[in-house]
Each structure stands twice: as C-alpha cells, then as structure tokens.
Amino acid sequence: MCDALALHRLDDVAVALRAVARGETVRIEGEQATCVTASAEIPMGHKIALRGVAAGADVRKYGEIIGMARMAIAAGDHVHVHNLVSRRGKRT
C-alpha cells in the first residue's frame, strides 16, 4: 500500500493519502515509485517534497507548475503556504 501519490514523472511533490508522522518513511506510487522520509507531520491531502527544490524555483504537481518555492525545500518537507507561493487564482 502506498502513502502518497505522484502522477507525473516531473512532479516535485506527492499528495499524502493519509496523515504522515515526522520521521516516517513515505512510500510514493505513480510514475515516481520511490520513498522519502517525512521531515515534518504531513496532513492527509497535503504535499510532501520528492526532492530538493531551490528557493525561487517552480514546483510541479500533476505535471503542472503550481507555484514557486518561497525558500529552499528539502526532500521530505511539508509543502504548503509557508514555503510555496501559489500561481493559481492570482490576479495580474
């Protein structure tokens, strides 16, 4: 059974299918079958980083750019509004 899902090979994040505890090994399924260690608690439905992302870099989910990293993000980090600037719903 998997703990999180990453649907596209270019995804930087996976979606947690259940709540994940800090320090837990998270099994990722989808186009990127891998494991990462959670560096924080990840609520169900939230994102976990699959790899490091530099500050200012694009972040992909489901193969689409969903935002920009506010700061450096490490593999296993909880990815949410504290470290991601959304590109969805923004007025220009």
Q: Give the integer Cα–Cα distance in Å for 19 and 43.
A: 4
Mean per-residue pLDDT of the chain: 93
Q: What percent of the chain has pLDDT over 90?
A: 87
Work out the number of other CB atoms within 10 angstroms of the CB of residue 48: 25
Mean pLDDT of 54-76: 96
- With cut-offs at 50, 70 and 90, classify the pLDDT of residue 91: low
Structural domains in the chain, CATH included, are 4-86 (2.30.130.110)
Amino acid identity of residue 5, one-letter, is L
- With cut-offs at 50, 70 and 90, classify the pLDDT of residue 87: confident
Tell me if 36 sits within 8 A of 76, measured CB to CB: yes
Q: Give the integer Cα–Cα distance in Å for 55 and 72.
A: 4
